[in-house]
């Protein structure tokens, strides 16, 4: 049996963009380069101006220029610690860790009291995974610079990375002793205890802090915990206390709203939800993220029952954030999911028009048009999106889905040719293009071109089951080269043994080879996996049963085929059945 045009099967999975990662470890080493004047270089040194010039070139990313000046300074004054330090910085920029370490050690040796020299060397040890020596350096730095708060928190993380959690907690106590209790320190301790798996103790530590100091953040964290423990009344009390301190504090509003929803207090829920979405101090992102979760994950009955209230919430959110992309996308998804495709289209379209540079906005709009089966708009917008993003040929492929359904097959072929032209080395795109061209040529009655296109596709991927199935099925329809058809079809059922379409093709080829008895079990298997929904498969199975003289069952399946043949996939089916009945005297 023929399976649908290949563009449908994997069109959306191709819409992915590559995200580059940031080398954070190196950034930690390179940040906070001190000004040359902060170094304890000798005042009045003849080389001071040269070092300033070197630092200027370093900051301008002229590393070669900086190195040339610093090397000249060191040739004259080998004990210039600042020159060694900045030479190390240039090496770090060049990702030469070994050289940077050598230069930093020299700077530390010349001025062991300089915080920055020792700190940068410690950071270098950290990013090159020498944890023990890193910890040792931090501990010594902390002895000499006890007021440097960052050292404490770095040391806490280093201890944690080594699994020395008790040392982490001891260091946190030192932080509290030196700097006093603050919300930041309380939350740091809380997160550290949770990371250690000591959840109850973590929340108890926040309770202790809350009794003396309190804050909306701490109160909301405690409320979230109580809600997770199903103590909804306690959770609501904490949320209310947080909101008394900060009426527009979004996390507390959101937490309270969700607690009310979970406890089915819907009147109060929508009141608080309105406050959450209309808060002008809160960004659109968390609002749209929460509302999207409500739309996509809650019981559809909830959406239907409270559609007027949800409509109101959506309108208010859009009033506050009228041209925010996430809000416009949310509105599109919401109205589509509630079967109001016209309004959904308006929002998806507006999002794409307001943010023409946004790939995701264009992709969402074009994808919506495909699912909404708006074929004319899909054809037009797919092409328009490709003009904005010429590297994304997937937009053209989606446009071709519209062309296909509009039966404008020459346009589909034009798009396939364009894809082959602009992405000749992208095997996934060229595979889809040749596959689609094969389908279209067959649709146009040119099987010679269809088979050539399929051969091109199979040269790219000899195991591409979609093409193997269609190629084999078309050969079987012609009743020729059944041996080749059999070999190709066999690959498809080995790859996907429960695919009713592929089982039908293979079994039908066996039947055409005069092996109805061998074909029968494959048809029986197909019936278990969706075959009963296809008039073609039911008709084929009936033919096999008829050939085996199992006439009663054959006519049962032909009757089922008649019921499924509403689109006329099998012309003259009823006439054929009457002929079969007459042949065996079954009127």
Question: Residues 70-121: pLDDT tens digits?
Answer: 999 999 899 999 999 999 999 988 889 899 989 999 999 999 999 889 988 8
Better-predicted residue by pLDDT, 90 or 27: 90
> In the predicted model, what is the mean pLDDT of residues 425-443?
96
Quote the CA–CA distance of 176 and 205 in Å, as a whole number. Answer: 13
Quote the CA–CA distance of 323 and 329 in Å, as a whole number. Answer: 10
Write down the CATH superfamily of domain 463-587: Tetratricopeptide repeat domain (1.25.40.10)
pLDDT at 441 over 80: yes
Token pair in block for residue 94: 């060049």
HSE value, Cβ hemisphere, 13 Å, CA-based, for 307 = 11
pLDDT tens digit sequence for 128-168: 888 888 888 888 888 888 888 788 778 877 887 777 878 88
**Model confidence band, residue 18 (pLDDT cutoffs 50, 70, 90):** very low
Could you give the angle at the alpha carbon of 439 between the alpha carbons of 434 and 440, nearest 5°? Answer: 95
pLDDT tens digit sequence for 526-542: 999 999 999 999 999 99
pLDDT at 317 over 50: yes
**Model confidence band, residue 3 (pLDDT cutoffs 50, 70, 90):** low
Kindly state the helix (H) or strand (E) to which residue 569 belongs, with its residue range: none
Quote the CA–CA distance of 572 and 530 in Å, as a whole number. Answer: 24
pLDDT at residue 526, rounded to an integer: 97
pLDDT at 555 over 60: yes
pLDDT at 386 over 60: yes
Q: Where are the domains of the chain?
A: 463-587
Quote the CA–CA distance of 86 and 73 in Å, as a whole number. Answer: 11
pLDDT at 250 over 80: yes
pLDDT tens digit sequence for 343-369: 999 999 999 999 999 999 999 999 999
With the C-alpha atoms ordered 164, 170, 173, 179, is the resulting torsion angle positive or negative?
Answer: negative
**Model confidence band, residue 182 (pLDDT cutoffs 50, 70, 90):** confident
């Amino acid at each position: 049996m023929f399976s649908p045009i290949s563009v449908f099967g994997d069109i959306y999975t191709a819409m992915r963009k590559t995200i580059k990662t940031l080398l954070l470890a190196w950034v930690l080493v390179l940040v906070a380069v001190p000004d040359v004047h902060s170094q304890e270089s000798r005042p009045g040194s003849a080389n001071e101006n040269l070092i300033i010039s070197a630092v200027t070139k370093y900051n301008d990313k002229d590393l070669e220029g900086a190195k040339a000046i610093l090397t000249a300074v060191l040739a004259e004054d080998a004990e210039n610690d600042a020159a060694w330090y900045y030479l190390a910085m240039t090496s770090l920029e060049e990702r030469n860790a070994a050289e940077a370490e050598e230069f930093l050690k020299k700077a530390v040796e010349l001025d062991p009291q300089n915080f920055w020299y020792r700190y940068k060397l410690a950071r270098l040890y950290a990013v090159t995974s020498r944890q023990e020596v890193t910890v040792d350096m931090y501990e010594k730095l902390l002895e000499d610079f006890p007021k440097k708060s960052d050292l404490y928190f770095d040391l806490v993380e280093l201890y944690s990375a080594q699994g020395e959690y008790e040392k982490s907690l001891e260091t946190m106590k030192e932080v509290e002793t030196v700097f006093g209790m603050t919300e930041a320190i309380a939350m740091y301790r809380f997160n550290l205890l949770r990371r250690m798996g000591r959840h109850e103790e973590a929340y108890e530590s926040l309770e202790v802090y809350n009794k003396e100091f309190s804050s909306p953040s701490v109160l909301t964290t405690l409320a979230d915990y109580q809600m997770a423990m199903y103590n909804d009344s306690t959770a609501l009390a904490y949320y209310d206390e947080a909101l008394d301190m900060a009426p527009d504090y979004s996390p507390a509003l959101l937490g309270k709203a969700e607690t009310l929803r979970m406890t089915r207090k819907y009147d109060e829920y929508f009141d608080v939800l309105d406050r959450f979405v209309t808060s002008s101090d809160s960004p659109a992102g968390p609002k749209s993220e929460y509302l999207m979760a409500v739309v996509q994950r809650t019981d559809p009955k909830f959406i239907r029952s409270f559609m007027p209230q949800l409509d109101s919430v959506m309108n208010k959110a859009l009033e506050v954030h009228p041209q925010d992309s996430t809000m416009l996308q949310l509105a599109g998804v919401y109205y589509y999911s509630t079967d109001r495709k016209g309004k959904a289209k308006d929002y998806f379209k507006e999002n794409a028009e307001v943010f023409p540079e946004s790939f995701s906005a264009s992709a969402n709009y074009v994808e919506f048009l495909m699912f909404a089966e708006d074929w004319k708009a899909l054809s037009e917008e797919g092409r328009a999106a490709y003009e904005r993003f010429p590297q994304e040929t997937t937009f053209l492929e989606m446009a071709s889905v519209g062309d296909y359904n509009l039966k404008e097959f020459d346009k589909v072929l034009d798009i396939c040719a364009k894809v082959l032209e602009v992405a000749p080395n992208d095997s996934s795109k060229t595979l889809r293009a040749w596959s689609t061209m094969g389908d279209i040529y067959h649709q146009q009655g040119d099987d010679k071109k269809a088979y050539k296109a399929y051969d091109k596709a199979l040269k790219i991927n000899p195991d591409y089951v979609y093409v193997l199935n269609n190629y084999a099925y078309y050969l079987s329809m012609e009743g020729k080269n059944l041996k080749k058809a059999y070999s190709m079809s066999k690959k498809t059922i080995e790859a996907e043994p429960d695919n009713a379409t592929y089982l039908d093709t293979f079994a039908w080829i066996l039947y055409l080879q005069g092996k109805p008895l061998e074909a029968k079990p494959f048809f029986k298997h197909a019936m278990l996996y969706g075959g009963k929904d296809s008039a073609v498969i039911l008709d084929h199975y009936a033919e096999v049963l008829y050939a085996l003289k199992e006439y009663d069952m054959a006519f049962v399946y032909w009757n089922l085929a008649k019921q499924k043949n509403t689109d006329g996939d099998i012309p003259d089916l009823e006439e054929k059945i009457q002929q079969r009945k007459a042949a065996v005297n079954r009127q």
